[in-house]
Amino acid sequence: MATIEEIKEVVLKPYTNHRQLTIREVETISINLIDLLITKDVKDARTMKYISRFLTKQDYADLVQERNLVKRCGYPLCSKSQARVRDPFADVQMTNFLRQNNPYAYLTEYCTKAHFRCSQFYQFQLSDEALFARVGVHLDDYEPPSEIQLLEEVLARESDVKQMIRGMTDLKLADDDSREEMERDISDMLADIKIVEINEPNIIGDLGRDR
């Protein structure tokens, strides 16, 4: 399993004595990172978020493709193979429309629809800024412009909120004092939930709708 510590030791260590990476150094880091993640799965969510600082959307697409070539699910947090190692329609005479709109095409890249969606959600958040322009990105004190979120974590938080609301509906309280205390606790919990308005919503739509 690939960890942050291993990435720092194997991929980044030769470049930690200076802040500005050259184009050649950036290319070497990108190649070595993808090589590492082709045959190793990312260990945890923390590492998955960490590697986002070194990836562009195209880098991630290349990583998915390379993992598929060695029969791995394209989502780096997954240790399984794709659901279909090859596309059964690849050798079949099909119109371009049918081939491009095959609803199960993702199974040749991912083990499930869930990981297909997780991967899309992750890739959508990656920056298109060239890695050499991300000054200090390889150093411990680098602060990304925004923190990457994982779809599975977002859906887990949504599930927790729904569960809490269901519990409120079913709960029968003995007296007004208990009710007021619970309402204060819930208010504190809801204050920690950040609601972000997205001006340009993701084209994959309501991710939790058909779970």
Q: Residue 175 is inside which H or E element, if any?
A: none
3-class secondary structure, 23:
helix
Question: In the chain, what are the domain boundaries?
Answer: 4-145
Q: What pLDDT score was predicted for residue 141?
A: 93
Superfamily grouping for domain 4-145: Rtr1/RPAP2 domain (1.25.40.820)
Q: Residue 68: how many CB atoms within 10 A of its CB?
A: 19
Question: Rounded to 5 degrees, what are φ and ψ at 109?
Answer: -115, -25
- 111 among the known binding-site residues? yes
- 18 among the known binding-site residues? no
Distance CA 11, CA 5 (A): 10
Tokens at 115, concatenated: 């990981």
List all residues 6 or more positions away from 135 whose beta carbon is below 8 Å from its beta carbon: 19, 20
pTM as predicted: 0.71
Q: What pLDDT score was predicted for residue 189?
A: 58
Rounded average pLDDT per 10-residue block, the chain, 211 residues: 96 95 95 95 97 96 95 95 70 56 78 94 95 94 91 87 67 53 59 52 49 44
Q: What pLDDT score was predicted for residue 158?
A: 81
- 118 among the known binding-site residues? no
Q: What pLDDT score was predicted for residue 135?
A: 94
How many CA atoms are closer than 13 Å to the CA of 58, on its beta-carbon side?
Answer: 6
Q: b vs e for 105-131, b when ≥16 Cβ sit within 10 Å of the residue's Cβ? A: ebbbbbbbebbbbbbbbbbebbbeeeb
Q: What pLDDT score was predicted for residue 173?
A: 47
The per-residue DSSP string of 186-201 comes to HHHHHHT------SS-
Closest CA to 34 of 2, 9, 5: 2
